[in-house]
Amino acid sequence: MEDVLEFEKVKSCSKQFVLAINDTLNVMNGKWKLPIIGSLLYGKKRFKELEREIPKITPRMLSKELKDLEMNGIIKRTVYNTIPVSVEYELTESGHSFQSVLDAMLEWGLGHRKSFFTNFKKVDSN
């Protein structure tokens, strides 16, 4: 309830509006962030597991994007003193809640595909 009020309040305040949306944009920007988040939604993973699960990603890119996501508080990195060391990556609470954005994107994307391929393409071929 309180959150809905705050949400409505902020929609009219463009500075905060822009900052919050920009934060969200930064979290997903680039070619690899969403695949990484998507993969971690199903549980914690190690570096090599992610590398295998995400087709065509190079270790350089994976390493860079993981650092980015960690700095933004989306994932948590844990090092275990095994020999050799193993490292696990998992989503933070914020990271998990990001699924709501993915859901909105999925829903809009599906609706848009539908209307795009019916309305627009037909008009185009006249």
Partner DNA sequence: TTAATAACTATACATTAGGATACTACTATC
Partner DNA sequence: GATAGTAGTATCCTAATGTATAGTTATTAA
**Shortest Å distance, C-beta 73 to a second copy:** 5
C-alpha span between 47 and 36 (Å, rounded): 11
122 interface partner picked from a second copy, DNA, none, CB below 5 to 8 A per type: none
| Residue choice 16, 22, 58, 97 for contact with DNA (CB under 7 A) | 58
Q: CB-hemisphere CA count at 13 Å for 21?
A: 9
Concatenated DSSP letters of 16-62? HHHHHHHHHHHHH-SSSHHHHHHHHTTS-EEHHHHHHHSTT--HHHH
| Residue choice 16, 22, 24, 86 for contact with DNA (CB under 7 A) | 86
Q: Which residues bind a second copy (CB under 8 A)?
A: 3, 6-7, 10-11, 16-17, 19-25, 27-28, 34, 72-73, 93-94, 97-98, 100-113, 115-116, 119-120
